[in-house]
Amino acid sequence: MATTKTNKAENARNAKARMMEKVRGLLAKAEDSAATQEESQTFYAKAYELMEKYALDAAIVRHKNEEKPEATKHLRFEVSGQGWHGKGRASLVYRVAEASGCQAVTVGNVMNGKNRWVHIVGTASTVTMLELLLPSLLLQAETMGHKAAKEYMKTVRDQFDTAANANIERRVFFRSYLAAFGRGVGEKIEGTRAQAAEKVGEVGALVLVTDAERVKARFDKLFPPATIGKGRADSFGAAGAMAGRRDGRTADTGQTRVNGGKKAVTAKN
């Protein structure tokens, strides 16, 4: 019996290692400057699909074997405030985390050049997945966002009487792009999760519901509702929001404005 359990554990580790190797390869392709916008998003979607399927399959096996469910995990994800674009970056991280089935809250998310944090609570496999995915997504969003901002400014620069005003427009576009990129990616992730739940049937759906309840319980313990407020809603520029969301899901939604409030910790840290 002990040998059987050891073999099963070893097989599981090997399967996970093979899956992670494939995921890293896909993310490397997504980050490649030679990849087109559509190719990058396809690689990201496939990487997420592989990780999501592995995590859900493992959870179903534990459920059928009447084993303990997967542990929850708390990630303190630091977000750069460089260029005073920290709020846009934090919005991207927050949106992708919640779309992945996690609970999230921002700390120190004000308009300045300082770093801030997004606290993410989810199942261990999902949080591990985000630790791998988020840096890659941020890199891609920044690269594509700078390119999109440059192209956008070519079309509107003559509308501004000073270089300072033109620079403000560029910064608003870029910050809006980052936040909306997260919305676009989040929508793709939600679609992938919904499809995965349909494929695995009632057992898989039950596992997802149970995981969501456990994640919420852990999150509420770490961040009691009384300490969390919605915070001031961020107003984003229409052009940057449209471009970012389009590039996040490779489809123009036609949205003209985004006003997205994020939960912010109001109690002292």
DSSP codes of every residue in 135-190: HHHHHHHHHHHHHHHHHHHHHHGGG-SSHHHHHHHHHHHHHHHHHHHHHHHHHHHH
Predicted pLDDT of residue 9 = 66
Predicted pLDDT of residue 98 = 95
User: CA-to-CA distance for 226 and 268, rounded, in angstroms?
Assistant: 12
Q: Which of 111, 238, 113, 114 has its CA nearest to residue 173?
A: 238
Distances (CA, A) of 14 to 10, 63, 69, 94, 227: 6, 21, 21, 31, 42
Q: Which of 47, 12, 94, 81 has its CA nearest to residue 192?
A: 47
Helix, strand, or coil here: 74? strand
Place of tokens 């970012």: 244
Residue pair 267/227 in contact (Cβ under 8 Å)? The answer is yes
Q: Determine how many CB atoms are found less than 10 A away from the CB of residue 214.
A: 17
| Domains contained in the chain, number | 1
Predicted pLDDT of residue 244 = 59
Q: Determine how many CB atoms are found less than 10 A away from the CB of residue 100.
A: 27
Predicted pLDDT of residue 247 = 62
- What is the domain extent for residue 178? 2-265
pLDDT in tens, the chain (269 residues): 556 656 766 777 788 788 889 888 988 888 887 877 678 777 887 888 888 888 888 888 887 888 888 999 999 999 999 999 999 999 999 999 999 999 999 988 888 999 999 999 999 999 999 999 999 999 989 998 999 999 999 999 899 999 999 999 999 999 999 999 999 889 888 888 888 878 877 777 788 888 999 999 999 999 988 566 544 445 455 555 556 555 654 423 222 333 334 455 433 33
Type of residue found at 139: L
